Amino acid sequence: MNRPKNLTPLLFLLPALILMVPFVIYPVFKTIYLSFFLDGKFVGLENYREVLLSPDIVNLDRFPTKSPPWGALIHNIVWIAIHLPSTVFLGLGMAILLRREEVKGSSIIKSIVFLGMVIPMIVGGLIIRFLFEEGAGVVPAVFKALGIERLAITWTAYPETALLSAILGSIWIWTGFSMLMYSAGLASIPKEYYEAALIDGANRFQLFRNVTWPLLKPITIVVVAMTLLWDLKIFDIVYVATGGGPGGASMVLALQMWDYFARALNYNYAAVVAVLLTVLTFIPALWLLRRRE
């Protein structure tokens, strides 16, 4: 039974590979292949040129001086710019606040915050839609009570606020994930580290800066990478809450891919957006892998 050493891992991988070849690897290459064809003819990079230069993807006529639509790619970037830091720091802050034993009902509050993560995204999208609807939603009602009539509107109906409403709603949905990860991370930090720092005269800020934050770095890497991936793939919330409108003002890449596929029945353009999304998601995925190693 002298089996070459490098064959053993391959044998273990074989069952997974048998499934992956038809269901993952073949579709991947087929998608790339499709992205170079149009109406059955090879067109090289023409599909990429058409899609990437389309105002559906990047609309420089309106960005950044005018209100959306700015194009799906820019909307995704805006989404990341607002959503990523918000969820990371909100999750971290809540995890720290609710860690303390003296906070009564902290587990209930955590459960409520985490609720956004456990509900189906479609339901989340519906909640966002009604949350921001004039006459039904709490957000316009609050602004109305504050006398800010400009924002006491149906946010999902206006190009200036549609994207923002979806992003703000997604912060509520995703903060639970960030909070849960940080809570687990905080629980793993030995108390002795804090005691030693306190003996050395560290104040609360120094405790956070020199003990908590560095020890939470691996968690932060995971949270940032996962949030980036989630932001790039965002689909269901937008599909339900705004449908990408009005006038494309909240369109995102995944929904644009869906539209090319399901509405235009243009599988080739859909494949182009899929490849683009994959390239974009590869970046945080590879970064995550390297940092973890």
Close Cβ partners of 68 (under 8 Å, ≥ 6 residues apart)? 62, 75, 159, 160, 162, 163, 248, 249, 250
Interface with another protein, residue 282, by CB under 8 A: yes
Q: How far is C-alpha 117 from the geometric centre of its chain's CA atoms? A: 12
For residue 275, count CB atoms less than 10 angstroms from its CB and return exposed for 0-12, middle for 13-18, buried for 19 or more: buried
Cβ nearer to another protein, comparing 211 with 254: 254
Here the tokens at position 56 are 């559906």
Residue in 18, 19, 20, 146 binding another protein, rule: CB under 8 A: 20
Interface with another protein, residue 281, by CB under 8 A: yes
Interface with another protein, residue 233, by CB under 8 A: yes
For residue 195, count CB atoms less than 10 angstroms from its CB and return exposed for 0-12, middle for 13-18, buried for 19 or more: exposed
- Beta bridge partners, 41, equal 38
Residue in 202, 207, 266, 291 binding another protein, rule: CB under 8 A: 266
Interface with another protein, residue 243, by CB under 8 A: yes
Q: Which stretch binds another protein (CB under 8 A): 38-46, 89-97, 102-110, 165-173?
A: 38-46
Residue in 158, 174, 182, 230 binding another protein, rule: CB under 8 A: 158
Residue in 117, 157, 221, 222 binding another protein, rule: CB under 8 A: 157
Q: How far is C-alpha 244 from the geometric centre of its chain's CA atoms? A: 16
Here the tokens at position 267 are 């599988």
Cβ nearer to another protein, comparing 176 with 244: 244
Here the tokens at position 282 are 């590869």
Cβ nearer to another protein, comparing 24 with 97: 24
Interface with another protein, residue 23, by CB under 8 A: yes
List the helix and strand counts (H, then E) for the chain.
Answer: 15, 2
Interface with another protein, residue 108, by CB under 8 A: no
User: Distance (Å, rounded) from C-alpha 151 to C-alpha 107?
Assistant: 34
Query: What are the residues binding another protein (CB under 8 A)?
Result: 6, 9, 13, 20, 23-25, 27-28, 30-31, 34, 37-41, 129, 133-136, 153-154, 157-159, 229, 233, 243-249, 254, 257-268, 270-271, 273-275, 277-278, 281-282, 285-286, 289, 293
